[in-house]
Amino acid sequence: MSKRGDTQLALTMEDVKNIAQYFEENGYETAYVGKWHLASESRVGRCIHTPKYLYSVYAPDKDGWKDKDSDYYEEDFLYDLEKDPYELHNLIYDKEYEDVRKQLAEELKEEMAKAGEKVPVICSSSD
């Protein structure tokens, strides 16, 4: 709780929306992010967001400052947004989600091709 003048403000996790909720409220079923950053500009990655999942891959041998894309990516994270709306539990190594990961990897490659990128190899976390 913070105090601002005579008014006290209390925020809970229920008061804060995540990016998935904003996408869904605005009619998006999937979203393709061309280049994203995780705490710095140093990574090259791609992700796909559906109403249920957020799936991401990254290029381990690329520099986000120099490279715009890659022909090789490794799986980075998978979140089940219905069960985990705050993206706290990465399911990328969970065997129960193997088929989901495969499907999302294919959808991501299709979106990358639509955006004019070469279709890359996406290395599964189970490899």
Nearest residue to 117 (alpha-carbon basis) of 56, 71, 64, 50: 71
Q: What is the mean pLDDT of residues 41-53?
A: 88
Please say whether the beta carbons of 35 and 44 come within 8 A.
Answer: yes
Give tens-digit pLDDT for 66-75: 888 899 999 9
> What pLDDT is stored for residue 101 in this prediction?
96
pLDDT band with cut points at 50, 70 and 90 for residue 2: very low
48 lies in some domain: yes
Q: Is position 16 within any domain?
A: yes
Quote the number of domains for the chain.
1
pLDDT at 27 over 60: yes
In a domain, 1, yes or no: no
For residue 111, the domain's CATH number is 3.30.1120.10
Give the model's pLDDT for residue 6. Answer: 54
Residue 81 lies in a domain: yes
Has residue 4 been placed in a domain? no
**List of E strands, 1-127:** 2-4, 7-9, 31-33, 45-49, 53-58, 72-80, 121-123
Q: What is the pLDDT of residue 19?
A: 65
pTM: 0.68
At 7 the pLDDT is 54
Q: Is the confidence at residue 84, as pLDDT, over 90?
A: yes
Q: Residue 94 belongs to what domain range?
A: 12-123
Q: Domain for residue 114, yes or no?
A: yes
Q: For residues 4-28, give the mean pLDDT.
A: 63
Place of tokens 């992010």: 33
Tokens, residue 35: 């280049």
- For residue 36, the model assigns a pLDDT of 45
